[in-house]
Amino acid sequence: MQNTHIWHQFHIYRHKISLIAFFLLIIQVLPLQAQQKSLIFNASGSDDQALSYGFFLAAHNSSLRIKYSDNFMDPAYPGLENVRAIMPVFSPGFALGFLVTGRLHDQLNLMFTPKVGFYEYRTELQLFTDDGNSPNGIGISTVPLLTEETLVEFPLLVKYKSERFNNTRMFFVGGLNGQIRTKNQEEANEDPVVLKGRDLAVEMGLGFDLYFQYFKFSPEIRFSHGLMNLYQPGYSDERLAGAISDIRRKSITLYLNFQ
């Protein structure tokens, strides 16, 4: 049973592990290649400019954080007697956007990074079923629920950088991200798990600035946690009625920034 549990946990977090491993590979290989090609101090993506611009591509794994209501734990509550669990699943997506960087200090920047993100939120609804092959006559079935969203996002971040070493700098970022869904609430009410259209998330991450001859490349990994309760009661799949009290977004994103 313990081995089964370990492999189940690995299955759940494999997307996070893959993203982190890919990020570590990038930050190890690219500086080595840059140093092998040249030891010239590259001024590309100069940090001395008051304002600088760029763009980015991003790949994310996102999920929902679901909090059960008190009714879910009540065996007498009608309609939930067959619900075993409501399990969010991490799902991939992508985003693209622009960078506007303001220089506050050589090691401190203010960043505005508007973007459009494409998200899939998968939820597995586990139900008790009659099963004649089971010793106790009870089986478990899984019903997949999918909610798709396109979000327009407006992250405002503070970027703290280390001192530059040759053509490399390490940095940390943190800030807030306002999110607005493109489809209206009337359309969203048809989704199996219905969410509200506006959110505010806190974001934290780290990465490296890599200076090349004509541009600056900055791979970054960032974590995002929603601050607002997005659950819209009364519209989701009827089998969820009364089972949920709180839903918030979360994601882990790999950014490839170019300036």
pLDDT in tens, 85-111: 899 999 999 999 999 999 999 899 999
Q: Where are the domains of the chain?
A: 51-258
- Is residue 25 very low, low, confident or very high in pLDDT (cuts 50, 70, 90)? low
Residue 76 has pLDDT above 60, yes or no: yes
The reported pLDDT for the residue numbered 39 is: 63
The reported pLDDT for the residue numbered 129 is: 82
Q: Give percent of the chain with pLDDT exceeding 90.
A: 58
Location of structure tokens 């407006």: 154
- The residues with which 85 forms a beta bridge, in sequence order, are 126
Residues in contact with 78: Cβ distance below 8 Å, sequence separation at least 6, in sequence order? none
The reported pLDDT for the residue numbered 73 is: 83
- Is residue 31 very low, low, confident or very high in pLDDT (cuts 50, 70, 90)? low
pTM for the predicted model, two decimal places: 0.80
Residue 205 has pLDDT above 90, yes or no: yes
Residue 52 has pLDDT above 70, yes or no: yes
The reported pLDDT for the residue numbered 4 is: 41
Location of structure tokens 């490349």: 217
Q: Which CATH code is given to the segment(s) 51-258?
A: 2.40.160.20
Residue 7 has pLDDT above 90, yes or no: no
Other Cβ atoms less than 10 A from the Cβ of 37: the count is: 10
- Is residue 128 very low, low, confident or very high in pLDDT (cuts 50, 70, 90)? confident
Pull the structure tokens for residue 90: 């991490």
The reported pLDDT for the residue numbered 9 is: 45
Q: What is the mean pLDDT of residues 79-87?
A: 86
